[in-house]
Amino acid sequence: MKRKRLLIVYHSKTGKNGLMAKAVLEGANHPDIDVDVTFREAMEAGIEDLLEADGIIFGTPENFGYMSGALKDFFDRTFYEVEGQVDGKPYCMLVGAGNDGTGALTAIRRICNGYNFKEVQPPIVVVGDLEDQQLQGCRELGMAMAAGLEAGIF
């Protein structure tokens, strides 16, 4: 059977979401889990990445109560091109924010409903400084998504 592929799409300006996304990648690449992972900055990610993915993790700062412009641009560039070809793909979210994060979550959920994606794990929201424990949570989320894809449970 074809190996499942997890896509991690993220944006980070000052590094926090980059560290979170890399921790997710580490978890997804756990040696006991046999999935392929595509790791992309949002501005580099495109239509093929979405079409090939069996599951997706989105990571973004919250900017002005919304997702980053870079992640929104990814959605803007891909929506019509993949519409109807990505129904039901499982996804989850990471938001490394200053003091809130809820606006980014709400906005991504709304857009993902348009793609007919299915949210399968609770989001990770980190406000304030990024601690080791939160990075561990990101690793576990990456493992859970990858293991779930491999097992076909989503």
Distance (Å, whole) CA 2 – CA 15: 34
- Residue from 80, 88, 99, 129 binding ligand FMN (CB under 6 A): 99
Structure tokens at 131: 């601690």
Residue 125: is it exposed, middle or buried by C-beta count within 10 angstroms (0-12/13-18/19+)?
A: middle
What are residue 60's phi and psi, to 5 degrees? Answer: -160, 150
Which span sits near ligand FMN by CB under 6 A: 24-32, 71-79, 98-106, 139-147?
98-106
Q: Does 114 bind ligand FMN (CB under 6 A)?
A: no
Per DSSP bridges, beta strands 66-67 and 62-63 are antiparallel
- Residue from 48, 76, 98, 136 binding ligand FMN (CB under 6 A): 98
- Residue from 4, 16, 89, 139 binding ligand FMN (CB under 6 A): 16
User: Are the beta carbons of 4 and 115 closer than 8 angstroms?
Assistant: no
- Residue from 9, 17, 72, 105 binding ligand FMN (CB under 6 A): 17
Q: Which of residues 37-76 bind ligand FMN (CB under 6 A)?
A: 61-65
Residues that bind ligand FMN (CB under 6 A): 12-18, 61-65, 96-101
